[in-house]
Amino acid sequence: MILPLSPHPRSRKDLSAQTTARGFPLPLSVWIDRSRGSEVPLPASLKRFYGSLRLEKGNRAPHVFGNLATTLDGVVAFGDRRGTGGGDITGHSVEDRALMGILRALADAVVVGAGTVRAIPRHLWTPAHIFPAWAGSYRRLRSATGGLDEPWNVVITARGTVDPGWPVFSSGKVPAAIVTTRSGARRLSRAHFPESTRVLIAAEGHHLSALDILSTLRAEVPVRRVLVEGGPHLLGDFLKESRLGELFLTLSPQFAGNSAGDGALRLVEGVSFGPSDPRWAELLSLRQSKSHLFLRYQIHPA
């Protein structure tokens, strides 16, 4: 019989704590962990849940890591996108949300494409927003790792079609930036964004490369660790240019199916690699909670 590296649950005391606290995540079973780098000083509750977490230090360039969730058949978004996000993919897994909170707590900036914000416009990309019950632990983790109170929420848009009323800009709760093209910035200048929202022009033209996005951001905001939460078009650009160092991928035990024109999106969109220009990844860790798998890959450069 194969046993996980850390059995699940760990003790009778743990078990009773888990079962009495409904809505709290169960500790993940750790089956594989070959991650490298320095150990992150996780507060006790987070360490009980995740186990040891090691992360590479961003030295010259920021360390860029992604986090998305897919169905068993690789879908990250259903065709009807309004109001649907990763929660519909994972069945609102509490463990997935708890882990997202940890990853956000470790990031200096969380980067999302405008399509993702359009799907869930009320969202804030902060640790506490995704899993409020652990807000205090996430805060302690941020201060132990030298982060600001909240990560920068960075929205990528070529056309400048973002709404100043979205809470990510209007709530004043997060430092926010929009990275856009010159024509996108012209369009944005006609709307009234709060002064706290920085509009950064990364390039001419109709598209931004991942390099444009990262270097523009880095010139304005001190970033050692950047978390890319998608969506699939933005992720495709980061993969195409080999700018994504790692991917934390939740595999949810759900099938989305596929019929012509249903509009569902897969993990990577807008770019094809294929056998002539493949992208490979190395499995760094495998954790499990019931039928959800929490995978972590190092992405090999092209």
Ligand X SMILES: NC(=O)c1ccc[n+]([C@@H]2O[C@H](COP(=O)([O-])OP(=O)(O)OC[C@H]3O[C@@H](n4cnc5c(N)ncnc54)[C@H](OP(=O)(O)O)[C@@H]3O)[C@@H](O)[C@H]2O)c1
- Residue 216: CB atoms within 10 A of its CB come to 19
In the complex, least distance from residue 230 CB atom to ligand X, rounded to whole angstroms: 3
User: Considering only residues 30, 119, 188, 244, which one is a binding residue for ligand X as defined by CB under 6 A?
Assistant: 119
| 109 touches ligand X by CB under 6 A | no
**Is position 247 an interface residue for ligand X (rule: CB under 6 A)?**
no
Asked if 164 and 188 touch (Cβ cutoff 8 Å), the reply is: no
Cis check for the bond before 27: say yes or no (omega within 30 of 0).
no
Does position 115 interact with ligand X (CB under 6 A)? The reply is yes
- State which residue, 95 or 269, has the beta carbon closest to ligand X: 269
Residues near 21 by beta carbon (within 8 Å), at least 6 away in sequence: none
The answer to whether the CB of 172 falls within 8 A of the CB of 194 is yes
Stretch that binds ligand X, among 45-53, 108-116, 166-174, 287-295 (CB under 6 A): 108-116
Rounded alpha-carbon distances, angstroms, from residue 49 to 24, 44, 182, 189, 224: 10, 9, 44, 45, 25
- Name the minimum Å distance from CB 10 to ligand X: 28
Site residues (CB under 6 A) for ligand X, limited to 77-96: 77, 81, 84-86, 89
Query: Between residues 56 and 163, which has the closer beta carbon with respect to ligand X?
Result: 163
Indicate the residue among 234 and 299 with the shorter CB distance to ligand X.
234
Q: Does 269 sit near ligand X (CB under 6 A)?
A: yes
- Other Cβ atoms less than 10 A from the Cβ of 254: the count is 18
Smallest separation (angstroms) from ligand X to the CB of 159 = 4
Burial class (CB in 10 A: 0-12, 13-18, 19+), 52: middle
Count CA atoms closer than 13 A to 131's CA, side-chain side: 25
Size of interface with ligand X, in residues (CB under 6 A): 32
What is the per-residue DSSP string for 235-246? HHHHHHTT---E
Other beta carbons less than 10 A from residue 42's beta carbon: 22
Distance between CA 41 and CA 50 in Å, rounded? 12
Is 233 a residue that touches ligand X (CB under 6 A)? yes
Q: Tell whether residue 99 is a contact of ligand X (CB under 6 A).
A: no
Q: For ligand X, which residue of 30, 168, 178, 234 counts as binding (CB under 6 A)?
A: 234
User: Looking at 35, 45, 52, 161, which residue binds ligand X (CB under 6 A)?
Assistant: 161
Using CB under 6 A as the criterion, which residues of the chain lie in contact with ligand X when the complex forms?
A: 68-69, 76-77, 81, 84-86, 89, 112-116, 119-120, 156-159, 161, 207-208, 229-234, 237, 265, 269
